[in-house]
Amino acid sequence: MSFDPAITLFSCHYTSQQSCAEEGKELEQLGFPSGISMVRVPCTGKLQVTTLLKAFEDGADGVYVVGCPVDGCHNVKGSARAAKRVAAVRAALQELGVEGERIEMFHLARGLHPEFVEKGKEMAERIRDLGPSPF
């Protein structure tokens, strides 16, 4: 079954700077999937488990977090903390009988890099394969 998945992306201020370039049109021009809603946060370390779960409650078919490289986080351990919370949500989803792959953490270099768009495409394809959220 093919569908256009609704995906929520939480990205730190540093790894999503390009989203503001060209008045926000640059990502679109680079082929960033339109079904991804991006929420920028000062640091992914600020994200709580409840914030990630709420995205699913609000109807997201998939959720992912993009933060700084583990050894290069602007706030030292912020993205490492985020990865732990993403892992906790993944485990909780699995407990509920839902595919853990519906949530993912990516550590990407800061600034404008092709990987930011690639990971968006990767998640869109993954969630499209998994199908609509069972919630």
Partner 1 sequence: MIVAERKPMAEIIEMVKDCKKVLVLACRGCVTVCSAGGEREAEILASLLRLGMRKEGKTVETTVASLVRQCDREYIDEIDQWQGQYDAVVSTACGVGVNFISNLRKDTMVYPALNTTFFGGSANQGEWTEQCAGCGNCILHLTGGLCPVARCAKSLMNGPCGGSVDGKCEIDKDVECVWQSIHDRLGSFDRSAQMEVISPIRDWSTAGHGGPRKTVRDDLTV
DSSP 40: E
**Residue found by looking up tokens 């990407």 in the block:** 108
As measured in angstroms, the least distance from the Cβ of 49 to partner 1 is: 5
Report which of 101, 88, 120, 118 is spatially closest to residue 9, judged by C-alpha positions. Answer: 120
As measured in angstroms, the least distance from the Cβ of 115 to partner 1 is: 30
Q: Which of 25, 54, 77, 113 binds partner 1 (CB under 8 A)?
A: 54
Report which of 92, 83, 100, 90 is spatially closest to residue 43, judged by C-alpha positions. Answer: 83
Nearer to partner 1, 25 or 54 (CB): 54
Q: Which of 10, 14, 56, 106 binds partner 1 (CB under 8 A)?
A: 56
Distance CA(73)–CA(51), nearest Å, equals 21
- Contacting positions for partner 1 (CB under 8 A): 48-50, 53-54, 56-57, 92, 95-98, 134-135
